[in-house]
Amino acid sequence: MATIHDIAKELNITASTVSRALNNHPRISEATKKAVLKVAKRLNYQPNHIAAALRNGRSNIIGIIVPTADRSFFGSVIRGIEEVAKRAHYNVMICQSHDDYESEVSTVEALLNARVDGIMASFAKNTENFDHFKKVHDKGIPLILFDRSFSGLDVSQVVIDDYLGAYQATEHLIQQGCRRIAHFTSVKKISIYKERLRGYKEALEAYNIPYRSELVLESYLQFEDGIEGLNRLLDLEEWPDAIFSASAYSAVAALAACKERGIAVPNQIAIVGFANEAFTSFCDPPMSTVDQQSMQIGTAAAEIFLEQITVGRDRFVPKRIVLTPELIIRKSSLKNPMKFSEK
Amino acid sequence: MATIHDIAKELNITASTVSRALNNHPRISEATKKAVLKVAKRLNYQPNHIAAALRNGRSNIIGIIVPTADRSFFGSVIRGIEEVAKRAHYNVMICQSHDDYESEVSTVEALLNARVDGIMASFAKNTENFDHFKKVHDKGIPLILFDRSFSGLDVSQVVIDDYLGAYQATEHLIQQGCRRIAHFTSVKKISIYKERLRGYKEALEAYNIPYRSELVLESYLQFEDGIEGLNRLLDLEEWPDAIFSASAYSAVAALAACKERGIAVPNQIAIVGFANEAFTSFCDPPMSTVDQQSMQIGTAAAEIFLEQITVGRDRFVPKRIVLTPELIIRKSSLKNPMKFSEK
DNA sequence: TGTAAATATGCAATCGATTGCGCACAATTC
DNA sequence: GAATTGTGCGCAATCGATTGCATATTTACA
């Protein structure tokens, strides 16, 4: 592969000049620039970013850590990040933690070794120690947390207002006439679930509906957990008349289980999920859900990164961006179709 | 950040020795190795992969080009690649072409500049010129195409047997008693669609069902295309009694449109899709579909890459791996539930 | 015409890790 | 005891691009 030295040799100039010419340095004559460009093209020159990265101390790579890449939510976030990053000539490097703490730690290590210029991450579910992220931040590498975040670190964050989303979802169910509203939640240490639970609770309180702990089930919110959850709810003496799930998968699972048992949705049990995965709109009845603005999360995160890079690590103040989720009402929670327009 | 030179200074040895010690070179005494490791830990040493990459000519990064990252299929492929790659200490760099040729070309350029050790790609829909990929191959950089591939390049490929998948899907519809089977196809230059069309045709032929061009609709297979497609089919004098779609989105769209119009699925129109996106199992009725083995595509691609790396570019013969798709029969195409077990 | 200013380019060090070669010293062999 | 083999480590070049400083050549202006 051709290097700037090869180009230099051809033109009887030095590599310095070639480098400057390629970077459009003002002190290089137009004639030389043109000549360099021409030879570069002829030799099929490809700049070696690795060499430049070593010299500059910048790799122009952003590291992304997600629990898993094959979920529509994270896919969209990644897409958002990549879109903004590319415009500023950054590439993204994706790593999956598989929702495992150990793996997350080693992934952070790997990204540091790869000398990424910044890291954007959403925690693994069992991450409780944040030293590995503290290390990133201490090294002065921009760190932006999204979705599953943690306020104990003085870093930027992009989240949605989970509290609001949950509050609105619950309120919506109440307005539909539901009074025994169950809630599927997850690991309480993760703030998004804590916030969603809080939104649920406060909505109940606002409407003078007593909070019943037997209606709140904690799990990993997978598909199976939704089925199991519904079964547990149906074992209660008094059935719930609605479920607000903190995840899309367990919501759809509950819906499927209801159908299997011949329970009418939404009339016997109304259901609202969280995360606007593609499948939520295709199930029957279509699932009401809280849209998480996934793509915007990505673009916002990337923009914060760019800002931090340009402002400089010293003068940059960590930002916390809270996006407003959108309650999407579909038939799974709509007892009176006349009152609302369907989306 | 600490370098091997810092460690060397602390121990009054040279960087060479430190490097060898860290790489567990046999000519370094155990005592020295231990000492180096100890100081490395104390100084919080992080190897600089960029420096190593420059020196070694290997970045340990695999570049991936997908049309878009936020589709479950590509997400799974990426996941598969990453899983295998990580074990061999490779990282992956994701780029999206947004199904646009120009963008794909510049992405390839970017990956070459980043000096990735290999590229895995699925074409953009409008890619018809393959020079940019030929260039990759000519430079001796392992290139593995998956899903949307092209046999005119002498590179490795991982695909599924689209013909077989389509044949089985169509045959299944025929066995359900369907005789006027429509087909949603896409850009014919892309082999996967050509193959699916071929499978469809040959299945018809095998059962002596005439091929009717008015039942074969070409589009980009997005959600809207599915709705439009159904409308066009219903404009025909004689309605189809089944649809085999080359994509999941347009299949689900057709299903939704049928429901809207009060057309019974599967009894009036049976539907089978392609690509086992999560939502296909959640819609109503659950959608029969051809599973593409997405994760295996990823792992297979990564394994080919590793083999090519170890075997060496000269002695490596491009491989073509054809995975067998799996027809998943669900209710959207099951006119006689007694005869088949549901999945 | 002489000199300061502007222009165009070269020199050489640098980023951090790797590695072929060589040298010293120790262990082993005959 | 001399010769051979083995062990442990240092020297210095290398990967390719970048950049502060120096230098050479022009241009401009008094």
Report pLDDT for A336. Answer: 66
Q: Chain B residue with minimal CA distance to A86?
A: B95
Nucleotide nearest to B5 (CA to C1'): C16
Q: Buried (b) or exposed (e) across B137-175, using 16+ Cβ within 10 A?
A: beeebbbbbbbbbbeebebbbbbbbbbbbbbbbbbbbbe
CA pseudo-torsion sign A215, A221, A225, A227: positive
The band of A69, judged by pLDDT with boundaries at 50, 70 and 90, is confident
> Is pLDDT above 90 for B209?
yes
Q: Where are the domains of chain A?
A: 4-43, 56-159+294-324, 162-292+327-339
Report pLDDT for B337. Answer: 54
Report pLDDT for A340. Answer: 46
What DSSP letter does each residue of B267-320 carry, written as one string?
TTSEEEEES--GGGGTBSSPPEEEE--HHHHHHHHHHHHHHHHHH-TTT----E
DSSP code of residue A209: P
CA distance B71 to A69: 10
B339 Cβ nearer than 7 Å to chain D strand: no
Report pLDDT for A342. Answer: 41
Query: Average pLDDT of A219-230?
Result: 94
Give the Cα-Cα-Cα angle B333, B342, A226 (nearest 5 degrees): 110
Q: What percent of chain B has a predicted confidence (pLDDT) above 90?
A: 84
Give the Cα-Cα-Cα angle A105, A80, A46 (nearest 5 degrees): 85
The band of B281, judged by pLDDT with boundaries at 50, 70 and 90, is confident
Please check whether residue B107 is in contact with residue B136, taking contact to mean a CB–CB distance below 8 angstroms.
Answer: no
Q: Name every chain A residue with its beta carbon within 8 A of the beta carbon of B248.
A: none
> Is pLDDT above 70 for B340?
no
Interface test with B, best of A50, A100, A260, A277 (most B CBs within 10 A): A50
What letter represents residue A170's amino acid? T
A31 Cβ nearer than 7 Å to chain D strand: no
> Is pLDDT above 60 for A341?
no
Under CATH, which architecture does the B56-159+294-324 domain have? 3-Layer(aba) Sandwich (3.40)
Query: Average pLDDT of A136-142?
Result: 93
Nucleotide nearest to A27 (CA to C1'): C8
B36 Cβ nearer than 7 Å to chain D strand: no
Interface test with A, best of B94, B296, B330 (most A CBs within 10 A): B94
Please check whether residue A79 is in contact with residue A110, taking contact to mean a CB–CB distance below 8 angstroms.
Answer: no
The band of A314, judged by pLDDT with boundaries at 50, 70 and 90, is confident
* Look-up of token digits 């479920």: A243
Q: Chain A residue with minimal CA distance to B278?
A: A279
> Is pLDDT above 60 for B342?
no
Please check whether residue A91 is in contact with residue A85, taking contact to mean a CB–CB distance below 8 angstroms.
Answer: yes
Q: Name every chain A residue with its beta carbon within 8 A of the beta carbon of B1.
A: 139
> Is pLDDT above 50 for A56?
yes
- In three-state secondary structure terms, A283 is strand
Please check whether residue A309 is in contact with residue A318, taking contact to mean a CB–CB distance below 8 angstroms.
Answer: no
Contact A78 B70 (CB under 8 A): yes
How far, CA to CA in Å, does B24 sit from each of B27, B28, B47, B54, B82? 9, 8, 14, 21, 27
CA distance A262 to A256: 10
The band of B336, judged by pLDDT with boundaries at 50, 70 and 90, is low
Burial class of residue B296 in the structure, from the number of CB atoms within 10 Å of its CB (0-12 exposed, 13-18 middle, 19+ buried): middle
- Neighbouring CB atoms inside 10 A of A307's CB total 13
B175 Cβ nearer than 7 Å to chain D strand: no
CA distance B58 to B48: 13
Pairing of strands A118-121, B143-146: unpaired
Q: Which of B92, B115, B280 sits opposite A93 (nearest CB)?
A: B92
> Is pLDDT above 60 for A227?
yes
Report pLDDT for A339. Answer: 45
Q: Which of A71, A94, A113 sits opposite B49 (nearest CB)?
A: A113
B32 Cβ nearer than 7 Å to chain D strand: yes
> Is pLDDT above 70 for B277?
yes
CA–CA min distance A208, chain B (Å): 35
DSSP code of residue B213: G
pLDDT digits (tens, 9 = 90+) for A146-179: 999 888 889 999 999 999 999 999 999 999 999 9
pLDDT digits (tens, 9 = 90+) for B29-56: 999 999 999 999 999 999 999 999 999 9
> Are domains A56-159+294-324 and A162-292+327-339 of this chain identical in fold?
yes
Please check whether residue A174 is in contact with residue A333, taking contact to mean a CB–CB distance below 8 angstroms.
Answer: no
How far, CA to CA in Å, does A21 sit from each of A11, A45, A52, A81, A218? 12, 14, 15, 32, 62
- Residue A91's nearest CA partner among A50, A63, A114, A69 is A63
Residues 1-30 of B with CB under 7 A from strand D: 12-17, 20, 26-29
Give distance CA B28 / C1' D3 (Å).
Answer: 26
Interface test with A, best of B86, B91, B111 (most A CBs within 10 A): B91
What letter represents residue B235's amino acid? D
How far, CA to CA in Å, does A309 sit from each of A112, A247, A314, B285? 17, 34, 10, 50
Average pLDDT, chain A: 93
The band of B284, judged by pLDDT with boundaries at 50, 70 and 90, is confident
Nucleotide nearest to A3 (CA to C1'): D16
Report pLDDT for B67. Answer: 93
Q: Buried (b) or exposed (e) across A202-229, using 16+ Cβ within 10 A?
A: bbbeeeebeeeeebbbbbebebebbbbb
The end-to-end CA distance of chain B, in Å, is: 55
CA–CA min distance B38, chain A (Å): 18
CA distance A199 to B276: 35
Structure tokens at A295: 């793509």
What Rg value do the Cα atoms of chain B yield, rounded?
A: 26
Tell me which of 3.10.20.30, 3.40.50.720, 3.20.20.140, 3.40.50.2300 is the CATH number of domain A162-292+327-339. Answer: 3.40.50.2300
The band of B339, judged by pLDDT with boundaries at 50, 70 and 90, is very low
- In three-state secondary structure terms, B200 is helix
Residue A275, sorted as left (phi over 0), alpha (psi -120 to 50) or beta, turns out to be: left
- Neighbouring CB atoms inside 10 A of B308's CB total 23
Helix pair angle (B30-42, B15-22), 10° resolution: 90
Please check whether residue B252 is in contact with residue B279, taking contact to mean a CB–CB distance below 8 angstroms.
Answer: yes
- Residue A99's nearest CA partner among A187, A216, A172, A228 is A187
The helix, strand and coil proportions of chain B, stated in percent and rounded to the nearest 5, come to 45, 15, 40
pLDDT digits (tens, 9 = 90+) for A10-31: 999 999 999 999 999 999 999 9
> Is pLDDT above 70 for B147?
yes
Task: Provide the positions of strand C that have an atom within 7 A of a protein CB.
Answer: 7-12, 14-20
Report pLDDT for A225. Answer: 96
Residue A208, sorted as left (phi over 0), alpha (psi -120 to 50) or beta, turns out to be: left
Please check whether residue A321 is in contact with residue A157, taking contact to mean a CB–CB distance below 8 angstroms.
Answer: yes
Cis peptide before B318 (omega within 30 of 0): no
CA distance B84 to B81: 6
> Is pLDDT above 80 for B235?
yes
- Residue B132's nearest CA partner among B151, B146, B119 is B119
Report pLDDT for B94. Answer: 86
Distance, C-alpha B75 to centroid of its chain: 8
Q: Name every chain B residue with its beta carbon within 8 A of the beta carbon of A1.
A: 139
